[in-house]
Structure 1
């Protein structure tokens, strides 16, 4: 009889444990806190990703911003993580994998649909953006620039130039290619050579602290040329800036979905990342946000304006669009900033 009681007790304990585990999963599945960059981008992520996921999985979302790395670090170190999924730069995913971030579950994700080198252990690509060379069509209507070297040619193309606040987006790479470096040999970046090339136009450069200020410089006509990310270029054009792109070599960067280490909703967060990886979600997001689709299986119906500034649609030779070397930037960003910052103030 005692054996029967023991068996029944063990079964009861097992059943109770299972019920508790199921209750924990159900509790976890109720909500996720998603962190991104506000504005059109996050609104598009809500519509393309969150709303259909809520409809199919009954998971509610809270949205927060910005996806601040220092705040995440403080959360993880304190063991009080309140964020579940974040949109962050690909280099951040490389730098903090296994430290501040969970490794992703790729068991249900077709990674072959993403460009080689863009998927990392802790980051899933969700959209690409170009650092686009644009010029003022009214300023240069009779003699427009056609190649990267023209950006550095003040004699034939006089005028002000505006640069983005983030040095890792491609400015140094463009300087090197304009100086004769082959696109295949950009990395490791020769920072001194790139800065020497930038020295030739430094007197005509507007340095910006935010992408908003860069956009305003294009709209107001303060800048005659510029390097700007896709979203800001499109927003500038919508605001009336008379700008057109130069399709020489174009650097693509990308953002990734990441999962903070210690999230209380790990299972649901991983499932949501898998959901976002689907081509139909990527297609819808690219259409709404005007960004470059992350997956080759997505076929967005872009507006005419978005088509104008999408480098993939203008790469007739197949060698004009280059992926940023995120691994190199993740390992070297701090040392590059330490060198570039004093150069800017000289």
Structure 2
């Protein structure tokens, strides 16, 4: 589905040079695009006079590649995951981005030193951090609620069905962390035959209690329907179910596996100067903090943390609900795209065999 959003705002105290024209932005739609409208587009238009036209698609990487191949690029910026950005960058479809061109932190810290590890690459600037986590129904564990990744695999202490993603990614990492492997050693261990055996052995302990899911909307529904008492899930889905729908769901941040999305600049975009102005504006510490108050994805800049306030117009502090909050990062694992590029085919086959056994 595509939709175009044009928002005209009154001019307020510009700190960027006033400009003309527009910038064409491609994003994912839904609450995600709306958070960008509120945090980036409206303030940017008000400050610069540049109109932001937003087109929503299922996955921006697909049309960006098609536009590049056709030699008819209509997008100035696009939002996509790190792995897609890396692939398209390698294919020459994206412009290199110099971190020195980005806004420094308020105290003057250069962007290159302010972004979290993995937040900047040759053609990619991160805008948000999201995570795969463990969630549980608080009403089912009133006396002794679970609190660690190991508890997800502890059927004796915490009986009940488990929601499990029907693919090897995230399962392998969580299994090893639950088995005592520190987050910073997970991929080293997983790269060995012994490590793979160890992960599958840990998964064996919950296999008979697993309800497998494939789409992100399923885990909160499984919890709401009482089909599971704990589940792997995406943090934003659980936050929305809890805060917006009043469900008694709680997130276990221990063992979270976090990833990043961000902006890329397609080669030969129609408005290169306006695109760069928008990129700089939307990836400032202040803009990224505003976005994190609209949706429960963490800002990828360290200096943004202190600027994050409450969720939308509520009295709910947003910081405790973000993957990047210091209290939630104690045993967090950065998802390793390179590992999965190298091992996905092999582990898909082994995981399918494990499911069938």
* 1:285 Cα deviation after fit: 0.9
Q: Where do 1:30-179 residues align within 5 Å?
A: 30-60=21-51, 61-99=53-91, 100-109=93-102, 110-164=111-165, 168=169, 170-179=170-179
* 1:157 Cα deviation after fit: 1.7
Q: Where do 1:1-346 residues align within 5 Å?
A: 30-60=21-51, 61-99=53-91, 100-109=93-102, 110-164=111-165, 168=169, 170-188=170-188, 189=190, 190-238=195-243, 239-298=245-304, 299-303=307-311, 304=316, 306-313=318-325, 315=327, 319-333=330-344, 335-341=346-352, 343-344=354-355
Q: Could you list the per-position Cα deviations for residues 260-297 of structure 1 after superposition, in whole angstroms to 9, with x for gaps in the alignment? A: 23423333323321221211111111111232122111
* TM-score for both structures, normalised by structure 2: 0.79
Q: What are structure 2's unaligned runs of at least 5 residues?
A: 1-18, 103-110
Q: What are structure 1's unaligned runs of at least 5 residues?
A: 1-27
* TM-score for both structures, normalised by structure 1: 0.81
Q: Could you list the per-position Cα deviations for residues 156-186 of structure 1 after superposition, in whole angstroms to 9, with x for gaps in the alignment? A: 2221112346754x33211111123222211
Secondary structure of the 2:116 match is coil
Q: Which has the higher contact order (CA 8 A, sep 6+)?
A: 1
- The structure with the largest alpha-carbon Rg is 1
- CA distance in 1 between counterparts of 2:294 and 2:113 reads 24
Secondary structure of the 2:127 match is strand
Q: Which has the higher helix share?
A: 1
* 1:345 Cα deviation after fit: 5.2
* 1:314 Cα deviation after fit: 6.0
CA-based RMSD of the aligned residues comes to 2.7
Secondary structure of the 1:66 match is coil
Farther-moved stretch of structure 1 (278-287 vs 86-95): 86-95
- CA distance in 2 between counterparts of 1:273 and 1:331 reads 31
Q: Could you list the per-position Cα deviations for residues 140-171 of structure 1 after superposition, in whole angstroms to 9, with x for gaps in the alignment? A: 22232222122112222221112346754x33
